Structure 1
Amino acid sequence: MKTTAIPRFFLLSLLLFLSLFLLTNIRYHRRPPPPVPQGGGQEDHLGSTQDLRIRPGYSSYDAYIRRQLDKTLNPKLRKIWTTRDWDRKISVFSKHFQKLQAENLLKNSSKSLCIGARVGQEVEALRRVGVSESVGIDLVPYPPLVLKGDFHDQPFKNETFDFEFSNVFDHALYPEKFVGEIERTLKRGGVCVLHVTLSRRPDKYSANDLYSVTPLKDLFRRSELVRVRKVDAFGLDTEVIFRKKR
């Protein structure tokens, strides 16, 4: 019995060593695929993986919200937005909206929504050019101009607005939900105007990077592209306009 026990022991040890070696070798050579970020994979639905990329690094949706609030609640930024930047931004937004009025894309009677409006300069600009029924939404409210709301889940009924404007598409962790909520709350024939930046990284709080207009055209499934043009809008360089199909 003793003569057979020793070979069995060494045989088992050898098999264990070989198994561990093989597992380690396979694990080293077969690198696992990169983790899918929160909101990732939506690009695959668009067929434009190179033109819309979700930034990784968010362990949960709560982590993403906390990251966005770091900017929105920053006391220094809020002071700048409500003092030094207040009139300047209202003036620039007003000029953009007046151009849209001249093209009959925005009317004084339009019920309007500004998405991700922070302290509401764009809302105030709409009201000053005559679009009185205008409101904004943001994670942090700023009454009476801005209501509390998540642009991934707008707090409004279907087909509420005639006009929607946003310059925070790059902050959307779920671009498909962002656009889906616009098309849900926009009336048939209603107009959506987005100011975006292409081919370069927006600020450090951005959740996605957009490199062409193609992903937007794919996302707006219930709308038609009206036009694309270059703009100079606080670091954003492109204006994209859609009209919801009737």
Structure 2
Amino acid sequence: MEKQIQKFQNEVSFVSITIATLIITFLFLQTPKTCIPPSALQKPHLRFPNSTCDSTPRHHLPLSKKNARLWSSKSWTTRVSSFVQFFTQLYQNGLLKNHSKVLCVSAGAGHEVMALSKMGLKNVI
């Protein structure tokens, strides 16, 4: 009697696992209809989405437009102006001239380079 119960339990477990696997496979292969607009192309033509609702392609932003947006931010302009104030002291002391060649080592985002360029130095790297 115990072997029959164990055999029945094994069969029920196997059937349950099989059904669960089929349902999960079906759910993974289905794409939710609410996230993708009807005008969108089929899956092979799109990049792989990060989530189910992220299937629309992102447009490329040109570097000049990206830089213009960054350079117009308040934090960028305040940092550049602080570097301009610092370098103005060096300029007034005669350590910097318009024809000076300047190499900014470890310039990071380039605040220093832009500050020196705004001051009128021609050769800033």
Pick the TM interval, shorter chain: 0.3 to 0.5
After TM superposition, the score normalised by the length of structure 1 is: 0.21
Instruction: State which structure, 1 or 2, has the greater radius of gyration over its C-alpha atoms.
Output: 2
More strand by share: 1
After TM superposition, the score normalised by the length of structure 2 is: 0.41
